[in-house]
Each structure stands twice: as structure tokens, then as C-alpha cells.
Amino acid sequence: MSAGFDNGGATPRPSWSPPRPIPPPHASAPPQGSALHTSASAQWAAGAAPGRASAPWAAAGPAAGGEPEGGPPRELYGTAPVPAPPYPRPAGERGPVGVAYPAGPVPPPPPAHPPAAAWSSPVPPSAQPPYPPRPPHVPTHAARARPRTAAAALCLVLGLGLLGGAGAGVWINHDPAAPTPTAAEASRRDFALARGLWHSTPVDTLFPATLYGKGLGPGGAERTWTRIGVAPAGDCREAFDPLLAKVLRPAGCVKLLRATYADATSSAVTTVGLLVTKAEAPTMRTLHNRWISERLGSRGDLMPRPVAFPGTVADGFGDRQRASWTVTLAADLPVVVYAVSGFADGREIAVPQPAASAVSAGATTAPAQAGLGHEADALADAVADRARRAAGSLTATPTGGSG
């Protein structure tokens, strides 16, 4: 059809005009009951009523029955738009009602898959927004292994530090460049350390509260002694008979330690003493040899004195109650150990007997028959053994110092 709509005598308008771009649908919903729900394509197909001029485009709509200026009305709220022919059609082919396509060659059919829309086409890398770098993936087991690895490394460092400290201590204490001490120097060192036993060794170590002697009584009988009291550490004045004090004078006196014991029957009491001397090894060896060679231990005028403790079974233990005794001078330690025993009832003994004679077979004296020789001998040996062990620990670990 060559003629268009009746424009009321105006210049005839072409039956087809280029399509206008279709904007996207409006974001808001249409009002209820509005005439905009009428299909734009139906208005376009109806056209104007015969013999009636079309109203201007400004009043176009269902009531005016007009057509928008410049082409068919726009798509409204979800209705399908009327496709405008973008290319010529063959002569005689008709489009929608009221639209005639111009004649022309038939164009090739559109591609089966139109190009992708602009928002679906790939964005060049330069146009992509910058993103922060993705953190590296750390496996769970690796995260758990980190604390264990750190703990193992710490233990290794501590262990190496301890080993290094120990090695340094060994190197310092045992410097290979240090000269080896002579025998005399080593002896002086040991004697100086052993003199510290009187203040480095507990009283209960040297003089235990209870002492046991298996086979140390007469006939191999067992013996048990209970400590009655311990005298304060003091000097050697009034501790020996005058002649014994004179014999021991070269040894000197650092401290004198004494305690008194009673046997299990409380019938015998014994004072045991430990004298720490000032003498060095040569002097102690000389005194030891003289004591043995001259048999000074059997002389009744070279006796040690007992220590009495009032209110005990040893209350009356004095010089006249001494029944048996023994004195030992060590040759390799700065100590003198002695013991003196007597009857607990306070009886006086006219002729005391040395322990070495009282313990001999066939001895018939009162001290021997009562076992007082065994008492003095056993207690002196027990304290001498404890003193030797204490001195040995001090010389092996130099912490005692000299007195």
C-alpha cells in the first residue's frame, strides 16, 4: 500500500519511517487499571478511524487513536516490540498492518547465533578492575605441622645450649694446659678440704641417733646404741689427760666434736670424739707412726676424757668411771678419733683397760667381762668410718673448704 494515514489535507507522510531505538522497560510497575496495559501493536494495527483525522502525537493513545510521531509506539511493560525492517524486502511483501516495505534485493538471512551483547562480551584485561593477589593455598596438615616444627627446633636449641655449657664447664675445670699438681700439692689440697667436714657434715651423719653393730659385742653378739647427747663443737682444752694433750699438740686443734651413747640395756655409756687437726699429711703420718711404734694406745696416762649429760644415764660419767678406751690417729686424714666407756651406774674403775686388751680372747677383767672394750672399739670404728666417707665426698667435690 502506497498511501499512508489520512493527515487531513496535509503533506502526505511516508508509510514507513525508520525505527526509533527501544529503551529498556521502565523500572516501576504500571498503575492499576491504566490504559497503558493496552497493547501497542493493537493500536498500531487499528490505525485511525475512516474519514477522521488523526490527532497529534502529543495526544496519541487509546483515547485519541493516534500514532506517535516518527514511527510506531514504544514497547510498554512486557509486550513484544514490532520488529522494524532494517533492510529492504521484495516488492509486494507486506509487513504488519499499515507498514509497507520498500522493494529491493533479498539480503542474506541473519546469522543463526547473533553476536553477544556488550555485557556478555569478554572484557579486555586492561579494563578489568584490579583485584588483590590471591593468598597461596596452605594445606591443613602443613599448618598443623608448623607449631610442632617450632617446638622441635626450640628443644634442639636448648639441648645444644646445655651441651655447650657442660662442655665449656668441663673445658674450664679440666684445662689441658694447666699443670698437673704434684703429690704434695694434691695432699695439701685434700687435707684442706677434709678439714671442712666438721661444719659441712650434719651431726646426724657423724653421730647418728641410733647405731647398730652386728657381731660387735662379746661373742659376736649384736649391739645397739642410742645417742644420749651431743656436746657443742669446741676446742681441745680439758678434753684429754695432760700427757695425751702434749702428745697431740703437734697435730693442732681446729674443732673437737663429741657425743655420748648408751647401750640397749642402759648399763654402759660411751663418749666418742672426733678431733679435726691443723696438721698436714707429713705431721699426721709422723704422729700415727709414733703412736703405733711406741704403743702409746695402751698407756693409762694417755686417756681421753668423757662427756657427762645431767639427767641421763651418763649423769655421773667422769674420769673415775672410765673403764676402757681407744685412740686412733689417721695417717691420711687430719682427724683423730677416740672413744672411752664406763658403767652407767657410776662405779669407779681402779685400773682401766685398753679396748685392744679388753676385746682379746681370755680377758677376765671387769671391763672385758662387761663388754666395755667392745663398746669403745665398735663406736670409735663407726664414727671413724663416717668421718672418712664425709672427707672423701669433700675431696671428690671441692665444696668444703678449710677450717
Domain boundaries, the chain: 1-24+39-105, 187-396
- Tell me what pLDDT residue 181 has: 74
User: Which comes out higher in pLDDT, residue 314 or 113?
Assistant: 314
Pure H helices in 12-139: 40-46
Least confident of 353-357, 359-363, 391-395: 391-395
Q: What is the mean pLDDT of residues 255-264?
A: 97
Instruction: Look at residue 70 and tell me whether its pLDDT is greater than 60.
Output: no
Averaged pLDDT, 288-301: 96
Mean of the per-residue pLDDT values of the chain: 74
More confident residue, 34 or 132: 132
Question: What is the predicted pLDDT for the residue at 316?
Answer: 94
Q: Which residue has the higher pLDDT, 15 or 191?
A: 191
pLDDT above 90 (res 271): yes
Q: Residues 316, 233: contact at Cβ < 8 Å?
A: no
pLDDT of residue 146 exceeding 60, the answer is: yes
214-250 pLDDT per residue, tens = 877 787 888 999 999 999 999 999 999 999 999 999 9
The predicted pLDDT at position 323 comes to 97
Between CA 74 and CA 278 the distance in angstroms is 130
Q: Can you give the pLDDT at residue 353?
A: 96
Comparing 92 with 324, which gets the higher pLDDT? Answer: 324
Burial classification of residue 201, based on how many CB atoms lie within 10 Å of its CB (0-12 exposed, 13-18 middle, 19 or more buried):
buried
The reported pLDDT for the residue numbered 215 is 79
Residue 2 has pLDDT above 50, yes or no: no
Q: Please, what is the angle between helix 183-194 and helix 281-293, to 10°?
A: 80
Q: Is the pLDDT of residue 188 over 60?
A: yes
pTM, to two decimals = 0.56
Query: Would you say residue 166 has pLDDT above 80?
Result: no
pLDDT-derived band at 400 (thresholds 50, 70, 90) equals: very low
Q: Is 148 left (phi over 0), alpha (psi -120 to 50) or beta?
A: alpha
Choice between 96 and 181, residue whose per-residue pLDDT is larger: 181
Taking the C-alpha atoms of residue 240 and residue 261, their distance in angstroms, rounded to an integer, is: 19
